[in-house]
Structures are given as C-alpha cells and as structure tokens.
Structure 1
Amino acid sequence: MPVLLIIDMQVGMTWPPSGVRNNPQAEDNIARLLDRWRHAGAPVVHVRHISRTPGSPFWPGQPGAEFQPALTPRDEEHVVEKNVPDAFTHSGLERWLHARGHRALVIAGVSTNNSVEATARSAGNLGFQTHVVADACFAFGKTDLRGVDHPAEEVHQMALANLQGEYATIIDTEAAAALLAR
C-alpha cells in the first residue's frame, strides 16, 4: 500500500506574501486523498518545513509553521520536520519508510518546483515507486535568471515535466486514490 506524503501544507503557505499560485483546488484534493488514506488505514506522512532563517513565517513557534487546520496530522500519523526542500535530507524519512517496508509513495503538497520536486527526485533516486499528484500540488510564479516572469501554472508544469518518467509518474487525484485499490 503506498504512503501518502503531504509536503509543507502549513499556514504560512496561505499568506499573501507567498505570491500568486496555481491549482486553487489543491488543498481540497489533498484533503480528499487524506480522507481516502485514513479510511483505508493506509500510511500517511506529513512533512513540515522548519526554517533556519529568523523572521521566516516557518520559523519554529510561528503561526505560519503550523499545519493548515484541515490537514492537521492525527496522532498515529508520522510527522517529518525538514530544514531544506528535500524531505529525505537529514530527516530520517528514508529509514522510517524502509523500517516499515514501504516502497511506494504518493506525493502531494507545495511547492511543485521546490520541496515536491526535490523530494520526488530523491525518492526516485532511492528506488521508491514514486507518484506525484499534479492536481494536489501547486507552485508560485517565478522570475528566471534573464528577468523573465513565469506564471505559476508554467512553473508547475515544468517541474512536473522534470520529474515525469525518470523520477516519478505524474498522476491526478483520482488515479492516486485508485492506487489504494491495488
């Protein structure tokens, strides 16, 4: 049974300084997946970014570092804290997954081109069967090194394209839920 890995769904991600984003339905899709995983008794891991930068909304103890209320972990669900985009780096996540025999991951969360992409790359490189749920992730607009602004949807799609095939399989919410039936 695949592990649902929910990345950085924290209060600070809902604040305007985060920027213009795509996939306004992502939280609803994540909540649907979380409900299905819980109903099936399948494993769920919540990842929380804890910043090392003073003043960051994700600094320890700040309201922005808390999980969004609708996506708050239950006591029996594993929580991983990270300080860099990749949820595997210095977190014990790989060890936790291996110790429980988990080999498949379904990844949702934010942001597609940062923590989701970094985590999915590591998962693929570590040999996990990795799925990224495109409509349960979102990105923010970004300016490239030439000074060209790219809208959030374009950033999101490029990050997914970077992952498809080599590191992960890109799916939607319904396909992710169907993985539980296998």
Structure 2
Amino acid sequence: MGTDSASQSATAGDDRRDGRDETRTERLDRNWGDILQELRAVQTGTQIITGFLLAAAFQPRFTELDDYELTLYLVLVALAGLATVLGFAPVILHRQLFGRQQKDRLVHVANRMLFGLLVVVSLLAAGVTSLIFDVAIGRTAGYLALGAALAVVAAVWVVVPIIARRSR
C-alpha cells in the first residue's frame, strides 16, 4: 500500500493545513469510514420512509386515493426503491474493488453515490410530506407542504453550506 515518499510528503503537507498529520492511505481510510457513517444515518431514515410507504398500500383508505395521489405514491415508492439501491451501491462497489488497491477510486465514486442518495432521499422526504398533507387535509395543503418541503431542501443543500463557508 506504499506510496513514494514525495507523494506521501506532499499529501501529508496538504493534510497538515487542516491539522491532520496522516498519509494518503490514512486519509482515504478515514474518508471511507466517514462515508459509511453517513450511509448508516441515511439508511435508517430511508428504511422508515420505505416501510411507511409499503404499509400505506395495505390500509383501507388506500383505495380512496385519486389518480394524482396514486401517481405521487407510486413515484415515491420508486424513489424509495432507488434510495435503497443507492444506499447499497457503495458497499457493492467496495466488494467489487476489495483487495485491488483502488481505495481512492472507491472513495471518489462512493462519495458521488452518496450525493445521489442524498438528493433522492431529500426529494422522497418532500414528496412523502406532500402526500400526507394531500390525503389528510386536501390538495392545496399538499401543494403547500411540497413547496415548503422543497424550500427546506433547497436551504439545506444551498443556503446552509454558503453560510457555513462564510463563517470560516
């Protein structure tokens, strides 16, 4: 797993800027561990939402859904399925690359997959909120809930990172 001393010292020098004194391999291991922790956190929420959606189909009131609500429900089930697969994807990739000295590729690709998963789960959460408001209160409430949820998603994805960067 060795790197030549020039690239190792350049990497270590780069990492010292953030107070870390680690090799490139140690940084990749740490980043992979961070990705796994984030996947675990997202997986729990995804499982709860997916369970809710699957259980909803077996409720007596499910047959009362109109075409819009049924379409939204099916889109949400598809997003939940996609989120589940995206949650497994980095682990599958790890199995495929295991022992091939490609941790840098693993971390890079898994990071992209995690971003995709977070986008899907964000949309899923907004859609579930809209569906619940639509069924419980009415179509206007569903649209308003969707707008509010998407605004929160946009704030989390755009506004919060901008504020965090400026506060450095």
User: TM-score, with normalisation over the residues of structure 2?
Assistant: 0.26
Instruction: Flag the structure with larger Rg.
Output: 2
Q: Higher helix proportion, which one?
A: 2
